[in-house]
Chains A and B, each alone.
Chain A
Amino acid sequence: DIQMTQSPSSLSASVGDRVTITCRSSQNIRHSLNWYQQKAGKAPKLIIYAAFSLHSGVPPRFSGSGSGTDFNLTISSLEPEDFATYHCQQSYSSPTFGQGTRVEIK
């Protein structure tokens, strides 16, 4: 199985901050990496697919980068509605997820 490791596990930031979350896979997954946003008590929502493609309706302050084993999710300027938990997921083989990164208000 491909292991996914996210860092940090949590971070505190303020509205307007630039935030970057990292996801590392245990083997080369090319661009088969997706990012989800999950708010408390809700199902996850797909925000980035295939490493850097913005899902429909997702604001452009979200961006994804990387390939192979190292990937980033960046929020260029945090909005109040962005405080949530973010999960990466590889779709190269049987799906596996990172452990999640909680973005909290500083």
Chain B
Amino acid sequence: KNQVEQSPQSLIILEGKNCTLQCNYTVSPFSNLRWYKQDTGRGPVSLTIMTFSENTKSNGRYTATLDADTKQSSLHITASQLSDSASYICVVRKNYGQNFVFGPGTRLSVLP
């Protein structure tokens, strides 16, 4: 079954600390993996898109990694800020059609 799992379900960290969010997927055939940030009451906003051949991709303080062999991805947030408080959603796209498989998200809270 095509699934995307994320861990932890929720995470609380102090401002300035780093954190890493995990994504495991069983989606096949794989095209690309995306990380989205969703603020409360808003729509998801793209952070990164990685294809099969990309291992690491950065967007400011956000760094995503992809291991296509183990079907795992991570999102590392460096020097967290209060504005990083949001849900982070991992999404895998199949290599045909409008086939996106969304993970349930990790809810991150950054406290002062």
The judgment on whether A and B are partners is no
